[in-house]
Structure 1
Amino acid sequence: MSTASASYPIGTPGTPWGDAERAEWLLQQSHQRSYESEVLSIVERLRQHFDVEQYGLLEYGPGSYPLMAIRSRQWREDLPVMLITGGVHGYETSGVHGALQFVEQQAENYAGRVNLLVAPCVSPWAYERIHRWNPHTVDPNRSFRENSPAEESAALMRLVAPLGDRVLMHMDLHETTDTDESEFRPALSARDGEPFEPGEIPDGFYLVDDSETPHSGFQQAVIEAVEKVTHIAPADDNGKILGSPMVAPGIIQYPLKQLGLCAGMTSAPYRTTTEVYPDSPRATPEQCNAAQVAAVCAGIDYALAQP
């Protein structure tokens, strides 16, 4: 677990960023890994057994990023849709690779029972730069709303919109990392001209349910599956995780739609945001990916078992 308190090196404390500060921030972002070799190559390999489609194209400076989705090949209009999204925050690695690993290892087990729609890397520019925002300092995971300021979010909403109320489950795969506290939350406070208040990163896996339409049975089924793979985050001394009351072991709640979160983009009765802690000394990258896969499988199994 990590805590930090420091002023951010860009901007004037108490003053929201303008164009100059955003440009200064963008200049500091560097290409650190390859979306093409680490993500698109796997997606291409999956074409052997799944339908793959490009649902958008991001044009950021000299770079172009095709947005890719994977569908069940035996898509049937009479089957429910299970939506899995990853990499809405590009730096959250197991969200991306957990989604891809689910398709590679488990998806065919559900053939003929569900329609799977997987968007494994919603924010590829941020994936390459290991960041939370897009190049306009916009957080895609606060942008799933009408007239979205993030093209990453708008493109995914366009992809999903034709499905209507057929989405039975949506699982959005995330991580909470030490850099949330050392970089991303301080940057957010600086961008918005607000004081940074240090917090504590939870050590372990947890879920974010919808406070408006909670479904405790679904969340608990996912927690029970994941705790066989990695440890579940405990509450802090105040009974909270990241400032939100823990309503059950490893479960907190946010108003998903109100906050513009990806997990709130559909009316699916079963939906959640997973949060893995990759910086824990008790978890390996392989465990983090496996925890995401276990969560997806448990969620689908639970949804299918309901009358």
Structure 2
Amino acid sequence: MHGNDYPIGTPGTPWGDAERAAWRQQQSVKRSYRDDVITRLDGLNDAFECVQYGSLPYDTEYPLFALKSRQWDHQRPTALITGGVHGYETSGVHGALQFAEQGAGAYLDKLNLVVCPCVSPWGYETINRWNPEAVDPNRSFLNDSPAPESAALMAFVGQLPGALLVHIDLHETTDTDNSEFRPALAARDGVTHDEWDIPDGFYLVADSHKSELAFQQHIIRAVAKVTQIAPADGQGRLIGEPILDNGIIEYAAKPLGLCMGLSDAPFVTTTEVYPDSPNASPQNCNDAQQAAVQSALDYALGVRS
């Protein structure tokens, strides 16, 4: 499906307020941010301080929460883990929570940890890539951001004491990227987007301005023990991009407004899990996200020591 096939808008014409409103009216709540995310934060009080860093200005109130190391040490480096920037990418949210619950304890005496498990709760509840204004938060980490989700996270991270050593942003690539989200994007912008092959497996997106290939390779090796790494397509690419190495591509993070570009951390990456694979399960996807986070932290700490 291309933008011309999408049921909202006029082919070749970008959406205006009426089309965005029509799109928004089609969305509905399908799961609970409060039940799935907020209730799990209470169980982490011993290790983390739960900080509300914002609230979204939508019809339903969506408070935004971060978990922050309770025993903060200014002599330690800081690591940021973000999930749910695209709310529909489920293992990004639950992988971040699983790391906080099961894996973080091994790092609390080495790093200051900040975990933002669900950056886009409206997107999580409605299973959407965009926010209610049809804006993609993961293209909005920019000055004067058009997405309140992105602006709130940027402001919060900007006031953290010290500099970040590492930032891991947890994402998924799903079959609905081709069936819904790319056609919607084409219609919204009044253009045509070709479909791409959805990679069958895990891959990483590095920041082309600081690829740190050895860092990315370290994560791929760790995740390969948990789930399959996405092979290249027939053109030797992943989602249309040239491959740097097995399961690794790169984007220019800051110019594109990607979440992984919100700081000057030297070690950054975006994970991409494929939940629609016949070889995957929700638990396997969460495990892959946790393995990616822990291997990223291990590498960054090893380089720093």
The 8 Å contact of residues 178 and 279 in structure 1, kept in 2 or not, is answered as: yes
Alignment partners' CA distance in 2, 1:189 and 1:223: 32
Alignment partners' CA distance in 1, 2:22 and 2:301: 49
CA, structure 1 residues 219+165, in 2 after alignment: closer, same or farther (shift >3 Å)? farther
The 8 Å contact of residues 49 and 73 in structure 1, kept in 2 or not, is answered as: yes
The 8 Å contact of residues 87 and 121 in structure 1, kept in 2 or not, is answered as: yes
Q: Quote how far apart the aligned CAs of 1:197 are.
A: 1.3
Alignment partners' CA distance in 2, 1:161 and 1:102: 23
SS in 2 for 1:51: strand
Alignment partners' CA distance in 2, 1:179 and 1:142: 18
How is 1:107-256 mapped onto 2 (pairs within 5 angstroms)?
A: 107-163=104-160, 166-256=163-253
Q: Quote how far apart the aligned CAs of 1:164 are.
A: 6.8
2:265 counterpart residue number: 268
Which blocks of at least 5 consecutive residues in structure 1 are unaligned?
none
Alignment partners' CA distance in 1, 2:108 and 2:161: 21
The 8 Å contact of residues 165 and 267 in structure 1, kept in 2 or not, is answered as: no
SS in 1 for 2:30: coil
After superposition, what is the alpha-carbon deviation per residue over 1:224-253, rounded to whole angstroms, capped at 9, x for unaligned? 000000000011111100110011000000
How is 1:53-92 mapped onto 2 (pairs within 5 angstroms)?
A: 53-61=51-59, 63-92=60-89
Structure 2 residue corresponding to 1:281, chosen from 257, 278, 281:
278
2:36 counterpart residue number: 38
Alignment partners' CA distance in 2, 1:288 and 1:85: 16
Identity %: 60
SS in 2 for 1:60: coil
Alignment partners' CA distance in 1, 2:194 and 2:207: 25
Q: Quote how far apart the aligned CAs of 1:165 are.
A: 5.9
Letter in 2 for 1:163: L
SS in 2 for 1:55: strand
Alignment partners' CA distance in 1, 2:206 and 2:162: 19
The 8 Å contact of residues 89 and 126 in structure 1, kept in 2 or not, is answered as: yes
Which blocks of at least 5 consecutive residues in structure 2 are unaligned?
none
Alignment partners' CA distance in 2, 1:198 and 1:296: 30
SS in 2 for 1:106: helix
After superposition, what is the alpha-carbon deviation per residue over 1:51-91, rounded to whole angstroms, capped at 9, x for unaligned? 11000011212x00000000111111111000000000000
Greater shift, 4-13 or 103-112, is seen at 4-13
